[in-house]
Structure 1
Amino acid sequence: MKIQIIPCLKDNYSYLIIDEENNIACVIDPSEAEPIIKYLENTQIELKFILNTHHHYDHVGGNKELKEKYGASVVGYKGDKERIPEIDILVSDEETWIYKNFVAKIIHIPGHTLGHICFYFYKNDLVFTGDTLFSLGCGRIFEGTNEQMFNSLMKLKDLPKNTKIFCGHEYTLQNSKFCLTHDKNNQNLKNKIVDIKLKLKAGFSTMPSTIKDELECNIFLKSHNVKTFSKLRDLKDNF
């Protein structure tokens, strides 16, 4: 399975998951259609599915155009069927969604929004976390509660340590500053920051991270209770 990282808008990422055996692809959270089309137009890859982690426009903005152009089916959480444009396939928490070599467990991870899900391609050790878990951070809480976000992060925290994380935005360097402020003696974090800066300087994405990296470096995953997490989330909102 090949992952193509596609920058969109100002700092969003969409991801093409390419099944090279069958020459088909899914796109995760197409903020806009044009960069996806630009990548696909010189290939023989057929876009079959659009997978949405949540309903925010910067994650679904390309749904309509991509569906019209390629006939792709939109997959999203059943609780957001009224909010995800062009939705075709409704998925539920703990369901396994399968199409040929695409096999993803759906995990409901509310907090940022009430209908937020991630797509965990467990056979490939990949998870697409949208705006819930960022590298060295977590999403703002717009619709849910601190407790919901904490519990959602705990679900992700329990995934195998070698799982690669692909999140919705390039926030890693800014997130690292907050982590370092509250975890000054973390050598793993300092090493990761060096790597982040080298990647960005070379024009690369900081994705993917891994569950192992985030357990070692992400201050939010070091929270052991809702109270600690809530304090950190409030501090980050005003950082």
Structure 2
Amino acid sequence: MWRPLLLVLYCLAAPARAETPAIDFATGEWPPYVSRSFTADGVFADMVRQACRRAGYIARFHYMSWPRAEAEIKAGRAAAAFPYRPTPERALSFDFSPPLIHSSSYFFYYKPRLAHPPADFRSLADLRAYRIGVQLGYWYQPLFRQYRLNTLNTSDEESAIKLLRAGHLDLAPLTLERGLFLIRTQAAGHEQDFAYIPTPLDKATSLSLMYSRSYPNIAKLRPAIDQALQAMQADGSLHAIYQRNFPELKPRR
């Protein structure tokens, strides 16, 4: 009779086990980097999840449009949005993690619709004669305006692939992994009809977490996550996750 009573008293007196705290992240559909349809939400999300686990947190992903993701972290409703490229304009309002992935963008084109594709370019001004698809909010928009390129807004990068095939666009700027993924999934059987200008639009630049400056406890969370990412870079964990997701990725010239 006393044992059950003692057990009850023990349970009441014992401190509750603390739950692992969660961190909110804003993101959107951008396969192969992040997608709800992928195992572990894609390569970038897998890296973020494992970094948070090392730092003692649970990563909680909220999918939304990219403009809303930026608004969420600006308002402090999410700790960070990803994946984002650091730019001087963004650095005015946000902080960035160490790079999780380095990637370059290229101008993709559809060979049957572009009889004389540019073999190379020394300056973006060399591409003024081509119709170039762009997406609102992307890092390259100010650059293209600076060089007065002939751009056409497209609803998304999937649409850019369709417009290339239809002949309504000449060039579409895409990161290498993203471009090859879209061609494989949106134009299966026609992969060899696509190519890209071998000159990269940019040097290999980082894709990072873009941190809020007003999320609760962000002054503690950000260095903890950054430290975990740096450790994962040092011990090869980031590279292993990348290789697991892109085991045969080779640039197609």
Shared fold (TM-score, shorter chain, > 0.5): no
TM-score of the superposed pair, with normalisation by structure 2 = 0.27
TM-score between the two structures when normalised by the length of structure 1: 0.28
Q: Which of the pair is proportionally richer in strand?
A: 1
**Could you say which structure has the greater relative contact order, defined with CA pairs below 8 angstroms and 6 or more residues apart?**
2
Bigger Cα Rg: 2
